Structure 1
Amino acid sequence: MYDVLVVGGGAAGFYAAIHIAESRPNTKIAILERGKEVLTKVKVSGGGRCNVTHAEFNPSNLSKNYPRGEKELLGPFHTYASGDTVGFFEERGIALKIEEDGRMFPVSDSSQTIIDCFTSEAERLGVQVKTLCSVSGIESKQVNGENIWNLKVGESFLETRKLILATGSNPKMWNYIAALGHAIVPPVASLFTFNIKDDRISGIPGVSTYAEVNVLPKKNFGKKTAKSKQDVSSLTSGGPLLITHWGMSGPAILKLSAWGARVLEHFNYQFKIQVNWVPEYHQTGLLELFLKVKQVEKKTILRTKVLDIPKRLWANLVSAAHIDDSTTWPEVSKQQLQSLAEQLTAGVYQVNGKSTFKEEFVTAGGVDLKEINFKNYQSKILPGLFFAGEIVNIDAITGGFNFQNAWTSGYLAAKGVVKELNSRETLK
């Protein structure tokens, strides 16, 4: 009989197990991981550097980065947030650094630093880590007024007093939880890039610039979609936009994919976006600027980049406005400049499908938030069952925020488990 079994050897699972073992040294704890290795998402996150958290230390502002879970996370973030995460790692000799965009990484720039921290802490605290342990069934029974959990692992069974599920986006686990009476919000992809074939962005992969992007409503759906009831006109995002071989990526696109996860799935990932490559201008104001430049500049349009955007993108948009490479400012027509202003501030692009990062795959969906007590991440339906991480219907706009959800939920689930185990022993 275990005191605590944690199913899932990822970030949230390890964080929960470590905090339980620290608070209650003689607790019998095991982490069950179905794969050969633990912490695989940690390993690949942030391009192998692991974006541990985000330098947003105000709980209210922090919660605004979660398309699903903003309201529910406000309380938990007042208890445990980014500053606490920084403290956890610093206490273990791991310094974090803040990058310009607010993302936080270990100073070593290596996710292995975080992995080594977790595995060594688990070993130091006596937490058993069992790999290749796939759970194939979950049952519970009442023993002396306490819910005892019975997990089928391979051909054997493991019993535990408290159970923490930290299995991420695992459909099999969601099925087991649903069979026990929990509602599961159907999962859809979040954090994905847009597949776009368009001459305006072809041949210039790697170009990055700040842009504003918004999703255009589909005529047959109107402004609101039948399924999600989300106003499509609210799907707008700003930030660095990266042009890739297959289309568009970067924070501006990833944020939009997260906020629009359900709407875009409803569109079957076939929709149009409007891009403003120079958000400081609107179309009319930009045309006025061009007309002023026309009065004084003698060079070709192509060679006179009057705006702060990458040269290769400027060249493609000049071409898209049907302006010849040899056309000079005195020669260009007002109509051509109007077209160029439109390309720069209101260009429409057709999206045909998405691309996801398999290793960093994030979903919207999971255990219904209404069925969880967010003071301790315990199930409201099944006593003794706790959740941590992405198994619940919470997701964020970038990886660092998703990790903070893992740390916060792991910490609070651990505190909830410890409190229940202690109170049970007091009763005895």
Structure 2
Amino acid sequence: MQTVLIIGAGQAGARAAQALRTYGFEGRIVLVGDERHAPYERPPLSKDVLIAQDDDHCFNGWVHAVELYRDARIEWCNDRVLRLDTQSHIATLEQGGELRYDHCLLTTGGRARRLPDVPEGPHAFYLRTLDDAMRVRARLATAQSVAVIGGGFLGLEFAASARTRGLAVSVFESASSLLSRALPPMFSERLRLKHEAHGVRFVFDATQLQVNQHATGVQIGTESFDLCVIAIGQQPNDELAKAAGIATNNGISVDRHCRTSAGDVYAAGDCANFPYGANDRATRLESWQNAQEQAIVTARNIVGDVTAYAPMPWFWTDQYDWNIQMLGMPDGMVDQWIERAGADGKTVLMGLREGVIVRVLAINQGGELRAIRRLVEEGVTVDAGMLADPTVRLRQIGKLTRSTHSGDQGVLV
């Protein structure tokens, strides 16, 4: 009987284990994770967990019900893999013993990037795990002010949650604007104004911060706060792979089929650096979608159903009453932005490159995003004037565009 060893029991690992059964693998599946919790999803940690009224029911983001692991014969093991011998196909566990595998999948994820000289303490927190979120939640109950270091998506989600709870919030961001690498200036500015309207204070160009913890809180420069949350990005957990001689480069390097440089070893999720797009650009995505979809593709490849991983990057974030969704990569290659504004602040912003939609950002427009996704995936040239006209439905534009590209004249009705 063959054994698939999955190292890393987060969303990617759990989804891969389930997918292996879905695609017909009948052998042994061992899922090893170093957290004491069953596999869970991370998006609720900066939102639902922090603002829920009831401590006992503030989290329900489990990837699967515990019964699934039993029914699908997936062995979930709370342990840490110390060494991986890719020649002998053996993993050594921290609590003793070894696991012999036929195929190994690394879904080791990432960890919060640390600010030099600022260790986690009673008033300074990093937010990555469920235990982190529960500690922050407990501290928020007695706090009145919070400093957030980092104006990325995680920092802004936390800021929104803290304001929802009534805390005074100051965000320290090293750049001169929010998410300058991920958002166009007009969208970045709109997001800043949204937060400021809810009472968030921003300090930009904050590159030389002196953070000191004391008995009752945190001192940043001349300002005092009850607590501080540091959200300055993530680092991939690739040390185990590197020690095993597996190629790494800002994560674990894989090919289009999620295979590493070591035989019978794969990688997926936040830790995997894969070739993306026509130029095979090395890419590592930290998103719910990537953890889910790459894990499933990897499972298919393990069972012999050869499948290339070619995602349409999709990301979402909830901040206050805004659901923001994004399609495509923020690679800066947009030569024209088109906006379709709706009522109550709803909007869709589309980035075109030579007439083809390559980037989409939407606020509370999930339905419109679904309609436009096909145009992005098909890569066809669209009429910019129609895109900008809110009286012309996106579904109609799609039908006309596809009809025109198939050789028909096309009639817009």
TM-score bin (small chain): 0.3 to 0.5
TM-score, normalised with respect to structure 1: 0.40
Q: Which has the larger radius of gyration?
A: 1
TM-score, normalising length: structure 2: 0.42
Higher relative contact order (CA 8 A, sep 6+): 1
